[in-house]
Amino acid sequence: MIRLEKVTKTYGDTTAVSRLTLEIRDGELCALIGPSGCGKTTTLRMINRLVEPTDGRILIDGTDNRGSRPEALRRTIGYAIQSVGLFPHMTVEQNIGTVPSILGWDKARMADRSRELLELVGLDANTYSGKYPSELSGGQAQRIGVARALAADPPILLMDEPFGAVDPLTREMLQRQFMDIQKRLKKTVVLVTHDLDEAIRMADMIAVMRAGALVQYDTPEDLLSRPTDSFVRDFVGADRALKRLSRIPVTTLTRPATSVTRGTVLSESDLKRLPKYVWVVDNDNRLLGWADTTGGPNTALWLVSETECQRIAVLESASLREALSHMLGQGVRNVPVVSEDGRLVGQVTLKDIEETTAE
Pair (120, 182) in one structural domain? yes
Q: Which of 8-17, 66-75, 223-232, 241-250 has the lowest mean pLDDT?
A: 241-250
Residue 66 included in any domain: yes
More confident residue, 266 or 142: 142
Q: Choose the final residue of a domain: 206, 238, 270.
A: 238
**Helix then strand then coil, % of the chain, to nearest 5:** 40, 25, 35
Query: Facing residues of 78 across strands?
Result: 157
Residue 244 included in any domain: no
Percentage of residues of the chain with pLDDT beyond 70: 94
CATH number for the domain that contains residue 117: 3.40.50.300
Distance of CA 124 to the CA centre of its chain: 22
Residue 296: its pLDDT value, please?
A: 59
Residue 96 included in any domain: yes
Pair (276, 234) in one structural domain? no
Pair (65, 201) in one structural domain? yes
Full DSSP string of 222-238: HHHHS-SSHHHHHHH-T
32 within 8 A of 207, measured Cβ to Cβ = yes
What is the four-CA torsion angle of 117, 120, 122, 127, rounded to 10 degrees? Answer: 30
Residues 188, 350: Cα–Cα separation, whole Å: 36
* Residue 122 DSSP label: T
Percentage of residues of the chain with pLDDT beyond 90: 50
Residue 130 included in any domain: yes
Q: How many structural domains does the chain have?
A: 2
Residue 182 included in any domain: yes
Pair (79, 190) in one structural domain? yes
CATH number for the domain that contains residue 282: 3.10.580.10
Pair (202, 261) in one structural domain? no
Residue 30: its pLDDT value, please?
A: 97
Pair (188, 254) in one structural domain? no
Residue 267: its pLDDT value, please?
A: 72
pLDDT tens readout for residues 145-187: 899 999 999 999 999 988 876 777 788 888 888 888 899 899 9
Q: Choose the final residue of a domain: 177, 204, 238.
A: 238
Pair (263, 203) in one structural domain? no
Residues 260, 288: Cα–Cα separation, whole Å: 10
Pair (24, 44) in one structural domain? yes
Q: Choose the final residue of a domain: 238, 258, 284.
A: 238
Pair (224, 286) in one structural domain? no
Q: Which of 45-54, 138-147, 299-308, 347-356 has the lowest mean pLDDT?
A: 299-308
CA end-to-end distance (rounded Å), the chain: 34
Residue 331: its pLDDT value, please?
A: 82
Pair (146, 265) in one structural domain? no
Distance of CA 85 to the CA centre of its chain: 22
Residue 329: its pLDDT value, please?
A: 82
Q: Which of 70-74, 233-237, 273-277 has the lowest mean pLDDT?
A: 273-277
Name every residue whose Cβ is closer than 8 Å to that of residue 123 and which is 6 or more positions away in sequence: 140, 143, 144
Residue 339 included in any domain: yes
Pair (168, 29) in one structural domain? yes
Pair (271, 218) in one structural domain? no
Residue 322: its pLDDT value, please?
A: 87
> Which ranges constitute the DSSP H helices of 186-228?
196-202, 220-225
Name every residue whose Cβ is closer than 8 Å to that of residue 36 and which is 6 or more positions away in sequence: 194
pLDDT tens readout for residues 24-82: 999 999 999 999 999 999 999 999 999 999 999 999 999 999 998 999 999 899 998 87
Residues 139, 144: Cα–Cα separation, whole Å: 9
Q: What is the mean pLDDT of the chain?
A: 88
Q: Which domain holds residue 345?
A: 250-357
Residue 238: its pLDDT value, please?
A: 65
Neighbouring CB atoms inside 10 A of 36's CB total 7
Strands 29-33 and 205-210 come out as parallel
Residue 302's pLDDT band, with cuts at 50, 70 and 90, is very low
